[in-house]
Amino acid sequence: MSHYVSIAIDGPAASGKSSVGLELSIRLGYLFLDTGVMYRAITWVALQKRVDFNEESAISELASQSIIEINQPSLGDGRTNDIFVNGVDITKKITEKQVNENVSLVSKYKGVRDSLTKQQQEIALKGNIVMVGRDIGTVVLPNADHKFFLNASSHERAKRRHLEEIKKGGNPNFEEIQSNIIERDRIDTTRILAPLIPAKDAHIITTDNKTIDQVVKEIVSIIE
C-alpha cells in the first residue's frame, strides 16, 4: 500500500498558515486543504435545509450525512479548491454572509467535528496533502509526516487583517481587530474540545516580519 505524505500546519487566526500552506502545496504539487472550508460546507447545508443552528443534534446529524469532496481548483479565479457537498459544487457559496455569521457556532459542535475529522483523515489517505487548521497535528493527523505550528504576535496578526480589510475597500479599526484576535485566541486555546495547542512534535515557526516565501522556504528546508 502506497504511503502518501501528509503535512499538518496549525496556528491561530492570521498567523499566515493558509497562505503558507497554499504556497507550499503548489511548490510540492500536493493537494491543499484548509479544513475550515468543510465547516463552512456544513453551515451552508444547514442554511439550505433551514435547520436551527442552536440545535446541536440536528446540525451534527447533517454533518454525519454530508459527503464533502475537496479537489484541486479547476479555475484560476482565486479559489484554493473545488468544493462539493453531496455532489453539489458550493465553491463560491461558502463565503456568503450567512455562512460567515454561523460557521463559528457550527464548528464548536462535537458531533460535527467528529464527522469532519473522519472525512479529513480519509482525504489524507488518498494522496499527498498539506492540511491546515487549528487541530490538525494534534487531532486530525496525529501521525502526520511533518507538523508545523505557525504563530505571530497579536499586533502583527492584527496588522495583516487590518491591511486585508483596507484592500477590500473597508475602513477598519485596528484596535478592534486586535481585540477580536486576542479574544479568538482565548477561546481557541481554552476550549475543552480540540484546543489550539502545538503538537509535541511540531516545528514552531514565528512568522512576524517574514514573507510567505521566507516561511515556505523555512518549512521546505526542515522537510528536506
Residue 101 pLDDT exceeds 60: yes
What is the total count of domains within the chain? 2
Q: What is the pLDDT of residues 163-192, one digit of tens each?
A: 988 998 989 999 999 998 998 888 888 888
Residue for grid cell 439550505: 48
Beta strand 146-151 with 203-206 is: parallel
Question: Which residue, of 126, 147, 162, is where some domain finishes?
Answer: 126
In this structure, the answer to whether residues 139 and 149 fall within a common structural domain is: yes
Instruction: Give me the mean pLDDT over the 62-70 stretch.
Output: 97
In this structure, the answer to whether residues 47 and 122 fall within a common structural domain is: yes
Residue 128 pLDDT exceeds 60: yes
Question: Which residue, of 126, 150, 182, is where some domain finishes?
Answer: 126
**Burial class of residue 176 in the structure, from the number of CB atoms within 10 Å of its CB (0-12 exposed, 13-18 middle, 19+ buried):** exposed
Each residue of 51-74: b (16+ CB within 10 Å) or e?
bebeebeebbebbeebebbbeeee
Q: What's residue 194's pLDDT?
A: 86
In this structure, the answer to whether residues 142 and 224 fall within a common structural domain is: yes
In this structure, the answer to whether residues 120 and 64 fall within a common structural domain is: yes
In this structure, the answer to whether residues 92 and 70 fall within a common structural domain is: yes
CB–CB of 99/40 below 8 Å? Answer: yes
In this structure, the answer to whether residues 175 and 112 fall within a common structural domain is: no
> How high does pLDDT run on average in the chain?
94
Share of the chain above pLDDT 90, in %: 83
CB–CB of 212/150 below 8 Å? Answer: no
Question: Which residue, of 68, 96, 126, is where some domain finishes?
Answer: 126
In this structure, the answer to whether residues 84 and 193 fall within a common structural domain is: no
At 2, the pLDDT band (50, 70, 90 cuts) reads low
In this structure, the answer to whether residues 98 and 176 fall within a common structural domain is: no
Domain CATH for 102:
3.40.50.300
Give the separation between CA 118 and CA 121, rounded to whole angstroms.
5
CB–CB of 130/220 below 8 Å? Answer: no
Residue 42 pLDDT exceeds 60: yes
pTM over 0.85: yes
Give the separation between CA 210 and CA 136, rounded to whole angstroms.
23
Please, what is the end-to-end C-alpha distance for the chain in angstroms?
Answer: 23
In this structure, the answer to whether residues 132 and 121 fall within a common structural domain is: no
- Which residue segment(s) compose the domain that 49 sits in? 35-126
In this structure, the answer to whether residues 97 and 145 fall within a common structural domain is: no
Instruction: Give me the mean pLDDT over the 122-132 stretch.
Output: 96
In this structure, the answer to whether residues 94 and 185 fall within a common structural domain is: no
In this structure, the answer to whether residues 152 and 113 fall within a common structural domain is: no
Coil vs helix vs strand at 133 = strand
